[in-house]
Chain A
Amino acid sequence: MSESQVIVGLEVHCQLDTKSKLFCGCSTDYRSDGPNTHVCEVCLGLPGSMPVLNKKAIAFAMRVAKALSCSVLHESEFSRKNYFYPDLDKAYQITQYDKPLAEKGILEIDGDDGEKKVRITRIHVEEDPGRLVHMGNAERGRYSLVDYNRAGIPLIEIVTEPDMRSPKEARKFLNKLRATLEYLGVFDSEKEGSLRVDANISIKGSERVEVKNITSYKGVEKALTFEITRQKNLLRRGQAVERETRHYLEARGVTQSARSKEQEHDYRYFPEPDLRPLQVQSWVDTIVLPELPDARRERFMVQYGCSANHARTLTGELRLANFFEKVVAPDPAGLPGLATTWIADTLIGELNYRSMSLDLLEPPAFTGLIRLVKDGVITDKSCVEVLRVMLDQRLKGEPTETPEALVQRLKLIKTANDSDALVATIKEVINENPKAVEDYQNGRDASLNYIVGQVMKKTRGKADPGDINRGVISMLKKRGT
């Protein structure tokens, strides 16, 4: 069975990065505070409290609608989705049902077979429920505590048509969507729990399965890959795929059937009587969109000479693109080449390895570092070493040193190719390895590598490998004559 028979549609929930909650004035900045500290009678659902719509949240959602080329409905409406759950304080969620804010849009992605337009079905706004914290374990003393700090945080739900054909495309869609939302200034992907994805997935001709509870970008690809394998295995064995809801268990990387009881939910939607219908279509024309990822990518290629892949990587995240532009700003003609490779090929990896936010590294420090490479003060190897120390200092909250100071302290200044020290070291190595020298002079080129390697070891990477190579050859030639 070929990949092309996979059909994927996504429902993406993102927290809108407003200062206050969707229906009350409580702050959304709850993550570093204790449980139930960002609550009031409205977001606790206390009897008698009433929702007041946060205009900013709607303005944010409208920006997304415009960026995704959706049409905004003349009149949209909030509805109640009724169900019981301890994290849901009112026992209903205020959401949008048959009259969403916007519908019928497009997001272009770099698909498996080139550019691909993923159709957006609808965009609507809703409130986040609270959060359960499970205590104890299954065997003893299992109970849950409820934290309503998250209750009422504005969410935007973006629903796609089943237009993706592989887990990779789903991942690409999410990355592009994330970038777009961040460029619009309405979303912060680094906030924990700010994204949740439900995926509908089927093999063409079979029933569709809904996978809920995917909470990371990588998780989407993993969950879908697992689910496709599961479904294909069923079909291969001649069994049918059941239409059901499954939960993704992030820690184990598997999906698990939800109890059938949960599928029998009847949410009893009806219009929220405490809110008026929303008529905001006229806002669309007043929205001025910022530069979006595609436009910025094009500009990076033209303005900085980035390759298409590098430009895509650098502009794929708002933080990264902004960082890049700040790094090269002091020398827009001289730095982009080095900055591109050092950021895209090295820095991203070092950050990921540390699960570290780019926000911790100030662009001028990075500019200083790559300038040392550009000016030939340090080797590439030393640059990586300095970068690692710089990142570790910031991650651990230690006092930071400038790249220049680090190079001094770690004694990483590149040995000049003609410097006495390098010449002396080469001479030393040659004297210590007569066998290798003899082999080289007898035509065994591999011996050269060995000698160069020994020199590099002795200079601890401070010397440029090219310089060493040239130095060794010229000295051996001298000896040979």
Chain B
Amino acid sequence: MTGALSFEPDDRFNAFLTTCKKTPYGSGRLAGIPVAVKDNISTLGIETTCASKILKGYIPPYDAHVVRLLKAAGAAIAGKTNMDEFGMGTTTENSAFGPTLNPLDTGRVPGGSSGGSAAAIAAGMVRMALGTDTGGSIRCPAAFCGIVGLKPTYGRVSRYGLIAYANSLEQIGPMAKTVTDVSTLYSVIAGHDPRDSTSHDRPYNHMPSADIKGLKIGIPQEYFGQGVDPAVGSVVREAIGTLEELGATTVPCTIPSMEYALAAYYVTCTSEASSNLARFDGVRYGPAADVKKSWHDAYRDVRRAGFGAEVLRRIMLGTFALSSGYYGKYYAKAQVARENVRADFAQIFSGADVIAGPTMPTIAFRLKEKSDPLSMYLSDILTVPANLAGIPAISVPCGKVSGMPVGLQIMGRHFEDERVIDVAYAYEQAVRA
């Protein structure tokens, strides 16, 4: 420990659930840099709620692996950021502790579910933050708030201490204003962790390079098709034009399995969530169950009162999808669809180095605009394929529509996070110059 930072920001956008007013830091690559941590990542001694009433008051007795790494690199933990409850949402409106507002237009959402982390960066409260991305939860708020966010290759960052929503899909990832900062933060958190059996020994020690001469970029037609705002599409096409000017070439491609991607995604994540969230029963932490009731009645009442509407909806959907007689129709089928998505990507990556397209089909929604769940689910269509396939994907700001930022999404082969970072860096440097 080399010092302590005082962190008392003016949080007008409700980006934080907890702020660490006096926070220690050490020496290292992140010495003295305040880093915000999404509230679904366990922090020793700091309340961690996943923006849910059911975890109100829960103070983890251990640090997530990534938090240990942050501390070891000298970072100051600035606080815990707001999110959609348990990561279930695309707007950060599904927080039990009120929505986070988009700092660029407080009438709009910051995106989600890592909306608090994105808003904290966009508002200049912190330089860097950790988010988590299950189906776009880092990239969507990065795009909506005009910052950079990376969803790493599945397994490159330890999930130990990340309160699971959908284990097979989610990754912790870095968020910041610049690609360089994202790269620096990523170099701290990536690497093998024996406590996460799905983690790989693929550390990240890369300095972003803007040289993309000869790079082949696949442009999937689905990313510019139905449901994608043409204004957003044309901003992104312009950005891809910039990449071509830097020496890259483009190849048109198609991802036929995208037709089933959303369904496969929602069946998988709700199934896993129904199991992951079953432990919140009032016995060990969170609001206590009423001991005068029989245990199953007490469980039911604690859970009904503790979970928000969207969480209850997804638990019900997932419970149904795993039920005997339906497993084969839903969960098993979703895994087949997932294999198809992987196969489609493999096919594209045999002829292209990266894939580019918009991160989100539209600019940030107005508050309460996506009040029906289905239209909210549909807005994840461009981000979920990377999670289904486990490949790295980054969102980098690439212009504006109606004064709101648009994100350019770059996806790459497994473990080629370095390359997607380079492409984003090349673009960022080109437009800055």
Contacts and interface: CB of A to CB of B under 8 A. Distances in A.
Contacts of A91: 275, 278-279, 281
Contacts of A143: 291
A92 B278 contact: yes
B42 to A, nearest CB: 4
B307 interface: no
Contact of B283 (A53, A86, A268): A86
Contact of B322 (A51, A52, A268): A268
A268 B197 contact: no
A49 B283 contact: no
Contact of A41 (B55, B61, B281, B324): B61
B323 interface: yes
Given A52-B197, A270-B331, A47 B42 contact: yes
A269 B278 CA distance: 14
16 contacts: A46-B42, A46-B60, A46-B61, A48-B162, A50-B195, A52-B194, A52-B195, A82-B278, A84-B278, A86-B283, A90-B278, A266-B324, A270-B322, A274-B196, A274-B197, A275-B197
Given A44-B284, A48-B42, A82 B197 contact: no
Interface string B195-226: 11110000000000000000000000000000
Interface residues of A, number: 29
Contacts of A41: 60-62
A390 to B, nearest CB: 49
Interface in A324-343: none
Given A92-B275, A92-B278, A266-B323, A84 B299 contact: yes
Given A47-B279, A49-B62, A276-B198, 14 more contacts: A47-B42, A47-B55, A47-B58, A48-B162, A48-B163, A49-B161, A50-B159, A84-B299, A90-B278, A270-B271, A273-B168, A273-B198, A274-B159, A274-B164
B60 A48 contact: yes
A84 B42 contact: no
A22 to B, nearest CB: 13
Given A41-B61, A47-B58, A274-B198, A268 B160 contact: no
Interface string A25-41: 00000000000000001
A54 to B, nearest CB: 12
A420 B413 CA distance: 102
Interface residues of B, number: 43
A86 B296 CA distance: 9
Contacts of B279: 45, 47, 89-91
A146 interface: yes
B113 interface: no
B270 to A, nearest CB: 12
Contacts of B160: 48-50
A86 B327 contact: no
Interface string B250-289: 0000000000000000000001101100110101110000
Nearest to A47: B163
Contacts of A49: 62, 160-161
B167 interface: yes
Contacts of B275: 80, 82, 91-92, 268, 270
Contacts of A146: 283
Interface of A: 41, 44-53, 80, 82, 84, 86, 89-92, 143, 146, 266, 268-270, 273-276
A127 to B, nearest CB: 14
Residue with the greatest number of chain B CB neighbours at <10 A, chosen from A49, A89, A268: A268
A86 B295 contact: yes
Choose among A41, A47, A86 the residue with the greatest number of B CB atoms under 10 Å from its CB: A47
Contacts of A266: 323-324
Interface of B: 41-42, 48, 50, 55, 58, 60-62, 64, 159-164, 167-168, 194-198, 271-272, 274-275, 278-279, 281, 283-285, 291, 295-296, 299, 319, 322-324, 327, 331
Contacts of B284: 44-46, 89
Contact of B324 (A48, A80, A86, A268): A268
A146 B284 CA distance: 10
Contacts of B164: 47-48, 274
A414 B382 CA distance: 96
Nearest to B320: A268
A51 B276 CA distance: 13
Residue among A52, A53, A86, A269 with max Cβ neighbours from chain B (10 Å)? A86
Given A48-B160, A84-B281, A268 B55 contact: no
A89 B323 CA distance: 21
In order of increasing CB-CB distance, the 3 nearest A-B pairs are A91-B278, A268-B322, A273-B167
Contacts of B162: 48
Contacts of B295: 86
Contacts of B274: 82, 268
Nearest to B169: A273
A51 B160 CA distance: 9
Contacts of B50: 47
A53 B55 CA distance: 28
B197 A276 contact: yes
A50 B284 CA distance: 17
Contacts of B278: 82, 84, 90-92
A51 B167 CA distance: 12
A267 to B, nearest CB: 8
Contact of B161 (A48, A80, A86, A92): A48
A228 B144 CA distance: 70
Contacts of A51: 197
Given A46-B61, A52-B195, A91-B281, A268 B272 contact: no
Nearest to B162: A48
A84 B302 CA distance: 13
B25 to A, nearest CB: 23
A317 B204 CA distance: 55
A47 B60 contact: yes
Contacts of B41: 48
Contacts of A46: 42, 60-62, 284-285
A273 B283 contact: no
B307 to A, nearest CB: 14
Contacts of A45: 279, 284
Contacts of B198: 273-276
Contacts of B197: 50-53, 274-276
A152 to B, nearest CB: 14
Contacts of B296: 84
A146 B160 CA distance: 26
A45 B160 CA distance: 12
A118 to B, nearest CB: 30
A469 B322 CA distance: 82
A276 B41 CA distance: 23
Nearest to A25: B195
A169 B273 CA distance: 45
B308 to A, nearest CB: 17
B338 to A, nearest CB: 12
A133 to B, nearest CB: 14
Contacts of B291: 143
A194 to B, nearest CB: 26
B61 A48 contact: no
A430 to B, nearest CB: 79
A53 to B, nearest CB: 7
A276 B194 CA distance: 13
Nearest to B296: A84
A205 B283 CA distance: 45
A82 B323 CA distance: 10
Nearest to A148: B284
Nearest to A92: B275
B319 A268 contact: yes
Nearest to B322: A268
Contacts of B48: 47
A136 to B, nearest CB: 12
Given A47-B279, A52-B194, A92-B275, A274 B167 contact: yes
